[in-house]
Amino acid sequence: MAKDIDDNQEEQVMEDSIADNQEDAKGQDSPEATDETEDDSSEDIVENEIDKVKAELQEAKDKYLRLYSEFENFRRRTAKERLTLISTANEELMTALLPVVDDFERGQKAMEETEDHKTSKEGFDLIYNKFSSILKQKGLKPMESKSGSEFNTEFHEAISQMPVEKKKMKGKIIDVVEKGYYLDEKVIRFAKVVIGA
C-alpha cells in the first residue's frame, strides 16, 4: 500500500512537473507572441512619427517658400520706391523755384519790349539760360501747352472759360496763363489755361 501511495505521488509529481513545463512553454510562447505584437505596434509608432516629421518638414518648406517670396516682393517694392524717391527727391525744391522761373520769364518779356537796356538784357538772358540749364539737368521740363491744343485734365488746370466764335475752339486751350512742368515724367505743376466755351 505504501508502494501504491508512492506511485500515486510520483505520478502526481510527474503530472505537476509536466503541467509546469507546459506552463513554462506557454509562458515562453506568449512573450514571443507579445514581442511580435510589440514589434508591430512599435513599427506603427515609428511610421506615425516618420509621417508626422515628414508633414512638419513639408509645412516648414511651404512656410520658408512663402516667407522667401514675400521677402523678394518686399525687396523689389522697396528698390522701386527707392528709385522713385531718388528721382523725385528734388520735387519740393523745384516747386519752390518755379515762381523764380516765372519771374525770369516775365522780366525777359518786359526787357524785350524796351530796347534801352540791351546790355542788362544780355546779362539777364545769360542768368536765365544758366538757371534753366541747371533745372533741366535736374530733370525739370516745361510742359508744351499751346493755344488751340486739346484740354487734358491730366496736364492742364482750367482757371477760366472764354466764349469763342469758332466752334472748333470749344473745349480747347485759348491761352496759357502759367506754364506746367514735369520733374522727369511726373507732373509737378499743372499748366493753368483758359479754355473756350
Secondary structure of 98-157 as H, E, C letters: HHHHHHHHHHHHHHHHCCCCHHHHHHHHHHHHHHHHHHHHCCEEECCCCCCCECCCCCEE
Question: pLDDT, tens digit, for every residue of 169-183?
Answer: 788 888 888 999 988
Kindly state whether residues 95 and 192 are assigned to the same domain. Answer: yes
Model's pTM, two decimal places?
A: 0.47
H/E stretch holding 162: strand 156-162
69: left (phi over 0), alpha (psi -120 to 50) or beta: alpha
Which cell is 125 given?
538772358
Asked if the model's pLDDT at residue 2 lies above 70, the reply is no
Kindly state whether residues 47 and 77 are assigned to the same domain. Answer: yes
Q: Percent of the chain scored above 90 by pLDDT?
A: 18
Q: Are 191 and 145 in contact (CB under 8 A)?
A: yes
Kindly state whether residues 2 and 80 are assigned to the same domain. Answer: yes
State the pLDDT at residue 88.
76
Question: pLDDT, tens digit, for every residue of 34-65?
Answer: 555 666 788 888 889 999 999 999 999 999 99
Q: Are 194 and 161 in contact (CB under 8 A)?
A: yes
H/E stretch holding 160: strand 156-162
State the pLDDT at residue 71.
94
Higher pLDDT, 184 or 34: 184
* pLDDT band per the 50, 70, 90 thresholds, residue 167: confident
Kindly state whether residues 78 and 100 are assigned to the same domain. Answer: no
Which of 33, 63, 87 delimits the end of a domain? Answer: 87
Range from 61-65, 85-89, 91-95 that averages highest in pLDDT: 61-65
- Give the integer Cα–Cα distance in Å for 158 and 170: 13
Q: Which domain holds residue 9?
A: 1-87
Kindly state whether residues 104 and 190 are assigned to the same domain. Answer: yes
Identify the CATH number of the domain in which residue 173 sits. 2.30.22.10
Which cell is 159 given?
482757371
State the pLDDT at residue 6.
53
Q: Percent of the chain scored above 70 by pLDDT?
A: 78
> Domains in the chain: how many in total?
2
**Phi and psi at residue 140, to the nearest 5°:** -80, 130
Question: pLDDT, tens digit, for every residue of 116-163?
Answer: 667 677 777 878 888 888 888 888 888 888 888 888 888 888 888 888
Which cell is 89 given?
527727391
Give the pLDDT mean for 95-112. 79
The CB-based long-range contact list for 162-170 (8 Å cut-off, 24+ gap) reads 162/194, 162/195, 162/196, 162/197, 163/196, 163/197, 164/196, 164/197, 166/196, 169/196, 170/196, 170/197
State the pLDDT at residue 13.
55
Kindly state whether residues 145 and 58 are assigned to the same domain. Answer: no
State the pLDDT at residue 55.
94
